A = this chain, B = another copy of it.
Amino acid sequence: MNEDITVYLNKKKEMIDTQLPLFVKKLSAPDALKEAMIYSLEAGGKRLRPILLLAVIEALGQDPAKGLNTAVALEMIHTYSLIHDDLPAMDNDDLRRGKPTNHKVFGEAGAILAGDALLTLAFEIAANDSEDIDSITKLKLVTKLAAAAGPEGMVGGQHDDFMAEGLALELVDLESIHLRKTGKLLTYAVEAGALIGGANKAVTQRLLSFARHMGIAFQIKDDILDIEGNEQDLGKPVGSDVANQKNTYPKLLTMDGAKEKLNDHFQQAVHELNVTGLQCERLKQIAEYILKRTS
């Protein structure tokens, strides 16, 4: 383990950053539609989900290249969800990561269709048989991706999150929303890595538990950054949760309570990794990075 974690993350991020637009550029599709898709794919982001997926495959001693298509598909679904979330009818956000949101540049119809296109393309890529993965595993990867992203997963979480604006939630309901809205795709990243890397059942269970704790920690950190974060680092105004009457961890638990809970989930995530018996240094470092990030 000679590499610094930031070097490691940057390398992986660069690989994803390079791959993502290539899958769109080669399409025989309307130029303006491709431009709108690529705009949001290239709008930055930490690429946390695909990196997690690849890091799990590595922790299992396998070649992460086997997971590249699945990682790309996953990031496309994450990207589509941001485009649709930002729409005027949804969160009505003008900025994301310091850049105008998709509909501000391509119009609402353009943004709706760019999102639909990315979601659909993701499944074409995920089901493509070009990689060294057997067909039965491929089908599992596709069905689990759809389950994580669909009405039982992310879309269901987005739905409840939107409907809960302005209502006072209990902690258990807030958690239920986040477990689906952000948690399911993060968990999928780890589960897909475990499937591709050939993890056994016991190890897979530990990794999934790690992912769940990481997902909650990630969301708590998001809520904290919306209050204590730096607008420059975040690329968006802070305080939007309060303005939108969002239910957040600091609101329900106080800021101190939220930080305590964040640390708690981080510790539990690390514990789960420790008992897998795998070479999990990178995964631990990624978890720590999520805990300490400023954007």
Q: A residues bordering B, Cβ < 8 Å?
A: 24, 27-30, 32-34, 37, 84, 87, 89-90, 107-110, 112-113, 115-117, 119-121, 123-124, 127-129, 134-136, 138-139, 142-143, 145-147, 149-152, 155-156, 158-160, 162-163
Partner of A124, one of B27, B30, B143, B159: B143
Pairwise interchain contact A127-B139, C-beta atoms closer than 8 A: yes
A89-B116 in contact (CB<8A): no
> Which residues from chain B contact A109 at a C-beta distance below 8 Å?
87, 89-90, 162
- On whether the beta carbons of A116 and B28 are closer than 8 Å, the reply is no
Question: In whole angstroms, how far apart are the Cα atoms of A129 and B115 in the complex?
Answer: 27
CB distance from A94 to the nearest CB of B (A): 16
Residues of the B chain whose Cβ atoms lie less than 8 Å from the Cβ of A152: 27-29
Chain B residues near A120 (CB-CB < 8 A):
119, 146, 149-151, 155
**Once the chains are docked, how many angstroms separate the CA of A143 from the CA of B139?**
11
Which chain B residue lies CB-closest to A103?
A: B89
Residues of chain B with a CB closer than 8 A to A33's CB: 151, 155-156, 159
A116 is contacted by which of B30, B119, B139 (Cβ under 8 Å)? Answer: B119
Beta-carbon contact of A124 and B112 below 8 Å: no
Report whether A84 and B116 are in contact in the complex, using a CB–CB cutoff of 8 Å. yes
Given the complex, which residues of B lie within 8 Å of A136, measured CB to CB? 129, 135
Q: Which of A27, A89, A160 has the largest number of chain B CB atoms within 10 A? A: A89
Residues of B within 8 A of A151 (CB): 24, 27, 29-30, 33-34, 37, 117, 120-121
Of chain B, the residue at the smallest CB distance from A145 is B123
Please name all residues of chain B whose beta carbon is closer than 8 Å to the beta carbon of A138 when the two chains form the complex. 135, 139
Question: Given A155-B117, A159-B32, is A112 in contact with B87 using a C-beta cutoff of 8 Å?
Answer: yes
- CB contacts (< 8 Å) of A32 on chain B: these are 159, 163
New contact pairs (12) apart from A123-B123, A127-B139, CB-CB < 8 Å: A27-B151, A27-B152, A29-B152, A30-B151, A30-B160, A30-B163, A33-B155, A110-B159, A112-B112, A113-B155, A121-B150, A139-B139
Chain B residues with CB under 8 Å of A139's CB are: 127, 129, 135, 138-139, 142
A27 CB contacts on chain B under 8 angstroms: 151-152
